[in-house]
Every structure is written in C-alpha cells, then in structure tokens.
C-alpha cells in the first residue's frame, strides 16, 4: 500500500475531483446527516455504503443538487460550489445515473442523447436542434453500444438504456458520475458491461460515486469506500481491501450495546408456519419458517437481502409462492384480511405510508383491527373501544396521553406505539410479525416497545421480528434466521456471538 493511499483527509491534493465536508441536513425532527465527509478522486470508483437511514440517499441528493445542505462545504476540483438545482449540478459536471431510469422511452435514442443540450438551449425554437449525429455515435461507441440513432429508446433492454444514460453523460464535461444502485434492474451480463464502461470512463479521469448494497459488485468495481452510519462518516475513503466485508458490515451497523438477556420461554407448539415461501421478488419459493408459541424469532438481513419481504409474506401482507398456516387454519400469502382474522398482527416497516392513519385519533388507530369485536348490529360501542385500547396505550406510555388526539400530531416513537397497540389489540392474537419495529424511534420508546414485544411472547404469542438493527435483534430474539440474497443463509441460536451474526449477514467465509 502506497503512502498516498493512506492520506484520505488531505483535501488539498490535486487529484481530488470532489470533496464534501461537514455536511449536515435536518428534516423536521430527524437529523438525516450530522457531519458527513466524502472525498472522490479523479479516475477512481468510490463506493458509498450505509444502512437504511444512515443518510446515504440524503448525501447523494445534496451532491447532485436536489437538496440543499444545512451546513458543510462542497468543493469541485478545489473550487467551492453550492448548487441550487439538479440542472446547476449537471452543468458543473456532476451527472447522476439513477436506478429509476430518467430517460424517455417514446423518444429516439438521438433525442434522448440530446436531452441535456435541449435543456440548455435558449429560446423556444433555437433549443430544438439535436446534437450532431457523429458526436452522438461517438458517445454510443464509447459505451460500447452499436444501435441505430433513430430507433426508439423503448426498443432497447434495460441494461442498454442505462448505457445510453451513461453515453448522455458524455455529452457534458462529466467530472463526477453518480451511480445510485445502477444494477438494481440489470442482469449479470448487463451489469458487467456497465462496469466496463464505468472503468473506461474513469481511466480518462472521471470520478465515479457508486452506491450499491452488493459486496460482490463493490469489490469488483470500486477502488475506495466510504461508510456512513447515523449521518456520520465512519470509514473515510479507505482503499478497497483494507477492510473485510465483516468489518464494513460492522461499521455500517455499529458496535452498539451489549445484548441484555431476554427471558427465554420454553419451546412450545409451532404457531406460525410458512412453507415454500420466497424472499424478495426474484427469490425462489423454497423457504420454510416456523415460529413457535412464546418464541421471538429474529429475522436478520441487510437491505436488499429479502428479509423484510419474507417477513411481510409471513404476515400475510405480500403475495408470493408458498402457503402459510396459523394453528389449524391456512391462508395464502397476500391475504392480509384472513391473516388478521386468524389472529396475526402485522406492523409494517414504513410507518407513514403503510401503517398510520394520520387524520384519525390515536385510539382509532389502535382499535382498527379489532372493530369487528366492537360492533353490535353495525353500531360501534365507544365505551368498549376505549376499554379495549386505552389500557394498551397506557401500558405503552403513549405521550401525550391523549387518545383522542390526531395520530399525525404525535412524535415518531409514539406513532410507532400506536401500531404496536393495534397489533396487540387484534382479536384472538396468536402471532405478531413486526418489521423494523423501532426504526427512527427514540431510546425510551424503543425500550417500551421491546418490553411489550417480550410480554406478548411471554403470554404465548409467536413473534417474528425482522430488523436490520443488529442491537435490536440481539436484545429481543430467542434465535436468529439470517437472510442473504433471497435465501435463508443461516440459523443461529441466541448464544451465537455477534461476530458469527455479522459473518452470516455479510456472507464472508470467516465465521
């Protein structure tokens, strides 16, 4: 390792293409970025790693000009810059390639390649000229595409379209190429082709920022890596190979607290049984999961592993192959209504989009799954509703303790308590499936929610918790199921050390 590789903090080196330091961004009560640093060097591919909520996407949005930071400095080739819009950033040479392609399938390849030139064009009419076909063909050649300029973009495969997007970046003086999970929709061949193009571009001096969750890709393409955790840069521009996968995973997830011993209840009869399930859209239907009465099973997996998807399937929220049963009754994946009727509570991962009824009161949020029990001849008994839900809200220490206040007015932690209360109020509760039950939740609420989950298990409910939070997993679960790349990679006992879990999560050989 040369000496220059070991000096990532020196911002004055002249091979730096882009340096962002002390970047901070606050959204309402959430601190998305506290103090992030990112230094990209000319001619290098730089990988950016971080779990969901680490601030990765916010940092990328800031770099491409979509979001203005609250604090921090960005320097492009040594000169300070501040972008007010994506257009400004693109003109300065920071070109984003999105996972959701930002091209126009109905237009021709030529028109798509001219998009930046058209956007830059002045008047209503003068700007309508397309770029010189010879130049356009040159860019296509550079990314290795041999296609007719007049053909509609829609006639190309997804991988080829992504290459067109890269070719379009060549129409500008592209200094930094930002690739945000560019391979999400590509097959292995298309990804290889894209990588080859990125490498060739970098060889001519462009810097590339590469965001991906797949270690294989990162190791194959990137020269350097930066890891974000909790809005801060925890590994700053380290050369690839200096840190093992395990160390990187550890950096992403944090050292955390030592696991507190949970009361282990005795193994009892299987309650929630899934057979032939799939984790993720591309997974094969071959996974079996059994959760016993009184047991808390921790389903672990990095983002994109399929862990959340498998958990959603087990809760009846997501359709897919396989079959599910609770007790003697069976139900199909995706039949959430029947699952709820059979006593399966489900707490979704995305609180606002999938869980909360913001316009309705806290009490109504908590009682919704038990309305059938509260109604007599179609008439809701208000007193019975309060009697069913209010003790739960008290136990979860809802604050402020106003069950008639609108759910939208509560803090994130207290909103999450409402979803937990809703789960606990499911009539005939037999199993609970919780996805990221304490994501974005403060420490106090987290403790209360964990206690409630343990209490439910102690009373004989089968609990499955899917979380990317390793600490949470270790304080809650009686055993761990590790999902990696759509398969159940490992089953570990509660006594398994943290290192073993990390190894299983990241898929490194050393256990």
Partner 1 sequence: MMAKRLPGTSRPLRLSRPPAVALVCLGLFLLCCAFVPRFATFGNIENVLRVASILCVVACGQAVVILLGGIEFSFGASAALASVVTVMALPVLGPVGGLATGGASVIAIGAVNGFLVGRLALPPVIVTLGTLMMASGAAAWLVGGLPIDAPPSAAFSWPARGRVLGVPVPILAALLACAALHLMLAHGRIGRLWYHVGANPVAARLAGLDVTRITTLGYAVAGAFCAVGAIILTSRVASGQPALAPNLPFETIAACAIGGLPLSGGRGRVSQVVFGVLTVAMLNNAVVLINLPVAWQLVLLGLAVLAAVGLQKDWAVLARLARRTDR
Question: Which residues would be at the binding site for partner 1 (CB under 8 A)?
Answer: 28-29, 317, 336-337, 339-341, 346, 348, 353-360, 363-364, 368-369, 371, 374-375, 378-380, 382-383, 386-387, 390, 393-394, 398-404, 409, 422, 426
| Distance between CA atoms of residues 130 and 118, nearest Å | 7
> How many helices, marked H, and strands, marked E, lie in the chain?
18, 22
Are the C-beta atoms of residues 300 and 467 closer than 8 Å to each other? yes
- Nearest CA-CA partner of 145 in 110, 173, 188: 110
Which C-beta is closer to partner 1: that of 142 or that of 354? 354
Which C-beta is closer to partner 1: that of 42 or that of 363? 363
Which C-beta is closer to partner 1: that of 28 or that of 84? 28
Q: CB of 412: closest distance to partner 1 in angstroms?
A: 12
> Residue 267: how many CB atoms within 10 A of its CB?
12
Which C-beta is closer to partner 1: that of 93 or that of 355? 355
Distances, alpha carbon 316 to alpha carbons 21, 118, 271, 421, in Å? 45, 48, 14, 19
Which C-beta is closer to partner 1: that of 255 or that of 380? 380
Cα 119 to chain center, whole Å?
32
- Any idea how long the chain is? 511
Phi, psi of 274 (to 5 degrees): -120, 135
Q: Sign of torsion, CA 384 388 394 396? A: negative
Q: Name, in order, each residue with C-beta under 8 angstroms of 482's C-beta and a sequence gap of 6 or more.
A: 300, 301, 488, 489, 490, 491, 492, 501, 504, 505
254 phi-psi bin (left φ>0, alpha ψ -120 to 50, beta other)? left
Q: CB of 347: closest distance to partner 1 in angstroms?
A: 9
| CA atoms in the 13 A half-sphere facing the CB of 26 | 4
Which C-beta is closer to partner 1: that of 391 or that of 493? 391
Which C-beta is closer to partner 1: that of 220 or that of 386? 386
Q: CB of 225: closest distance to partner 1 in angstroms?
A: 36
Q: CB of 230: closest distance to partner 1 in angstroms?
A: 21
Which C-beta is closer to partner 1: that of 375 or that of 458? 375
Q: CB of 386: closest distance to partner 1 in angstroms?
A: 4
Q: CB of 317: closest distance to partner 1 in angstroms?
A: 5
Q: CB of 216: closest distance to partner 1 in angstroms?
A: 34
Q: CB of 380: closest distance to partner 1 in angstroms?
A: 5
């Amino acid at each position: 390792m040369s000496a220059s590789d070991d000096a990532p903090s020196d911002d004055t080196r002249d091979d730096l293409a882009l340096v962002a330091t002390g970047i901070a961004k606050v959204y309402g009560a959430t601190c998305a970025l506290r103090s992030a640093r990112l230094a990209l060097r000319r001619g290098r591919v730089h990988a950016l790693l971080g779990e969901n909520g680490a601030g990765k996407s916010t940092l990328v949005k800031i770099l491409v000009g979509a979001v203005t930071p609250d604090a921090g400095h960005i320097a492009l080739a040594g000169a300070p810059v501040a972008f007010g819009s994506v257009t400004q950033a693109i003109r300065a040479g920071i070109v984003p390639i999105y996972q959701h392609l930002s091209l126009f399938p109905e237009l021709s390849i030529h028109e798509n390649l001219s998009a930046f030139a058209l956007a830059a064009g002045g008047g209503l009419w003068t700007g309508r000229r397309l770029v010189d076909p010879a130049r356009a063909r040159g860019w296509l050649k550079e990314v290795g595409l041999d296609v007719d300029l007049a053909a509609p973009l829609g006639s190309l495969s997804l991988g080829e379209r992504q290459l067109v997007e890269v070719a379009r970046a060549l129409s500008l003086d592209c200094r930094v190429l930002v690739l945000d999970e560019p391979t999400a929709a590509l097959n292995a061949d298309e990804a290889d082709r894209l990588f080859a193009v990125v490498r060739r571009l970098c060889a001519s001096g462009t810097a590339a920022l590469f965001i991906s969750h797949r270690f294989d890709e990162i190791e194959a393409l990137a020269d350097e890596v930066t890891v974000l955790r909790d809005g801060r840069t925890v590994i700053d521009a380290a050369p690839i190979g200096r840190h093992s996968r395990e160390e990187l995973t550890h950096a992403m997830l944090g050292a955390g607290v030592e696991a507190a011993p949970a009361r282990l209840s005795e193994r009892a009869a299987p309650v929630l049984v899934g057979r032939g399930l799939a984790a993720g859209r591309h997974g094969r239907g071959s996974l079996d999961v059994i959760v016993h009465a009184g047991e808390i099973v921790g389903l672990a997996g990095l983002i994109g592993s399929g862990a959340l998807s498998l958990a959603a399937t087990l809760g009846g929220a997501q359709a897919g192959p396989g079959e599910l049963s609770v007790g003697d009754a069976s139900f199909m994946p995706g039949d959430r209504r029947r699952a709820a009727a059979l006593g399966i509570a489900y707490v979704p991962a995305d609180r606002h989009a999938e869980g909360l009824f913001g316009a309705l009161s806290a009490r109504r949020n908590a009682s919704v799954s038990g309305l059938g029990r509260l109604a007599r001849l179609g008439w809701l008994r208000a007193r019975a509703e309060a009697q069913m839900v209010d003790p739960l809200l008290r136990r979860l220490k809802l604050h402020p303790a106003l069950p008639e206040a609108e759910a939208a007015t509560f803090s994130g932690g207290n909103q999450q308590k409402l979803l937990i209360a809703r789960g606990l109020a499911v009539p005939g509760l037999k199993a609970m499936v919780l996805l990221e039950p304490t994501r974005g939740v403060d420490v106090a609420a987290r403790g209360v929610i964990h206690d409630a989950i343990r209490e439910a298990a102690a009373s004989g409910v089968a609990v499955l918790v899917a979380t990317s939070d390793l600490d949470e997993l270790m304080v809650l679960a009686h055993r761990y199921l590790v999902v990696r790349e759509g398969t159940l990679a490992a089953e570990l006992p509660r006594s398994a050390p943290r290192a073993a879990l990390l190894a299983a999560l990241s898929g490194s050989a050393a256990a």
